Amino acid sequence: MIFKGVNNQSVEFKITNYQFPQNKEGDWDGNWLLIYLKVQSELGDWQTIDPSLTTWDVSALINWIQSISLDKEPEENPLTFIEPNLSFAFYGIRNDKKRVRIRFNAESRPKSADDTIKYFVDCDYTNQELEMIANELKKELEKYPERKGVND
């Protein structure tokens, strides 16, 4: 799926696999996902693939986006995860659209990243567009469902 940003910026987001596909247990290692990012931004263009989110993280992101689409303030803002690679922040309403900032850190920045620069892409969306994004993320996650333990 592609997050379309302001000023022709974009973030392609794709789950490519589990980090440990052979681990079918419901533990942390069994639920880490490899996240592919292709970023076109005012700060440069880059691609990464890294185990930066878990199945639970992607579910939390879906819920976070859905809450914004329903005109609710997100409970967590910014939305952060165990790995500090990605975060999402709600910046309010601008020109009748809701601004979401996708921040990149650690392995999700360009390989030549400058530590003095904050890497991000701002995106402005209507409620309907946010709901579509949540649905696209759900489809991505359906391919890599949460792995539960044998006793769950």
Tens of pLDDT, residues 45-99: 999 999 999 999 999 999 999 999 999 999 999 999 999 999 999 999 988 899 9
Residue that is written with structure tokens 């850190």 in the block: 105
Rg, the chain, Cα only: 15
Alpha helices, DSSP H, located in 7-50? 28-31
For the entire predicted model, the pTM comes to 0.95
Burial (CB < 10 A; 0-12, 13-18, 19+), residue 114, is exposed
Which residue ranges make up each domain of the chain?
2-142
Sheet order of strands, 32-41 included: 2-4, 10-18, 32-41, 44-54
Characterize the bridge pairing of strands 119-125 and 86-94: unpaired
User: What CATH topology corresponds to 2-142?
Assistant: Transcriptional Co-activator pc4; Chain A (2.30.31)
